[in-house]
Amino acid sequence: MRILVVNDDGIDAKGIEILAREAARFGDVWVAAPDEQCSAMSHGITLRRDISVKESPFPLRASLAENFLAPRPVEEPYPSGGNSAGGYPAAGRPSGKIRAFRIGGTPADCVRVALGYLMPEKPDFVLSGINFGYNTGFDIAYSGTVAAAMEGLMNNVPAAAFSVDANGVYGTVEKYLHEILKEILEKEPVEGEIWNVNFPGCPPRDCRGILRDCKIAGTGLFIDTYKERREADGTVHLSLECSLTQDTGTDNDLAAVKSGYIAMGKIHSMVFWQDK
């Protein structure tokens, strides 16, 4: 299997390292990721400048600031292999090769460049993430992670987007990612849909399981406001400030992750799957 792995947090993010490593258990992996942070880029593409492409060592990891809105849970160690002390299922060693490229463009650019220039053959699947922060509810519209998966779908490649709470806790991801990837990669793709998976930022012992077929919340994670700073000439500078949404509703993706569940759902596109 040929798998393209992309993200919007940049090639040095921890999430893409985890996703590429697990994807390599299922086949050969091409990583094509922005060379800088591109969160909230949505589906923008580069039109009026060149796009740089450079093969890169992988993984590269930068430390990400923790979410100031949420306390960091104490994370239990994840067993390094097999059914060791924690009893997690053995996923086996990666069998596929990983090649990585840093792209001077947007998440959607990364998919377009990989499919149109880098990869000798079209991938069997596009995996996007693991994003540092939930992509649930209205925030899906702003997400470069989701947009990269949609770009795969637009090129007749099935795709999935993955996200986790922005508190730097990956224990639940480490425990469940292999199982979820196996489920997604082995299913037949559905016309006009991508998978959207959000992990709670909690240690595995606190995860309440997987909720499938989650609906998209009718709200965003944050309430945004602007703080102004005025100059003497009348120019106003606005900086974004945000607080967490308290009313998440029930029976939706945002409520699921806030309650400690892994939320698996589908996002529908106007672009329909076509066999070619």
Which position has the higher pLDDT, 74 or 215? 215
Output the pLDDT for position 74: 46
Decide if 30 contacts 24 (C-beta within 8 A): no
Q: Is the pLDDT of residue 27 over 70?
A: yes
Q: Is the pLDDT of residue 149 over 90?
A: yes
Strand partners, 223: 243
Output the pLDDT for position 84: 32
Confidence band of 245 (pLDDT split at 50, 70, 90): confident
Q: Is the pLDDT of residue 82 over 50?
A: no
Segments of 39-112 assigned E as strands: 53-56, 98-103
Which position has the higher pLDDT, 222 or 98? 98
Q: Is the pLDDT of residue 144 over 50?
A: yes
The span from the CA of 41 to the CA of 176, in Å, is 28
Q: Is the pLDDT of residue 274 over 70?
A: no
Which position has the higher pLDDT, 73 or 193? 193
Output the pLDDT for position 224: 78
The mean pLDDT of 39-58, rounded to a whole number, is 90
The mean pLDDT of 25-47, rounded to a whole number, is 91
What percentage of the chain exceeds 90 in pLDDT?
65
Output the pLDDT for position 50: 94
Q: Is the pLDDT of residue 177 over 60?
A: yes
Confidence band of 88 (pLDDT split at 50, 70, 90): very low
Q: What is the mean pLDDT of the chain?
A: 85
pTM: 0.84
Lowest pLDDT segment from 43-47, 131-135, 163-167: 43-47
The mean pLDDT of 221-225, rounded to a whole number, is 77
The span from the CA of 162 to the CA of 7, in Å, is 9
Which position has the higher pLDDT, 191 or 35? 35
Q: Is the pLDDT of residue 92 over 80?
A: no
Domain 2-220+249-268 has CATH 3.40.1210.10: yes
State how far the alpha carbon of 97 is from the alpha carbons of 28, 93, 174, in Å.
5, 12, 20
Lowest pLDDT segment from 55-64, 101-110, 171-180, 194-203: 55-64
The span from the CA of 141 to the CA of 135, in Å, is 9
Decide if 16 contacts 7 (C-beta within 8 A): yes
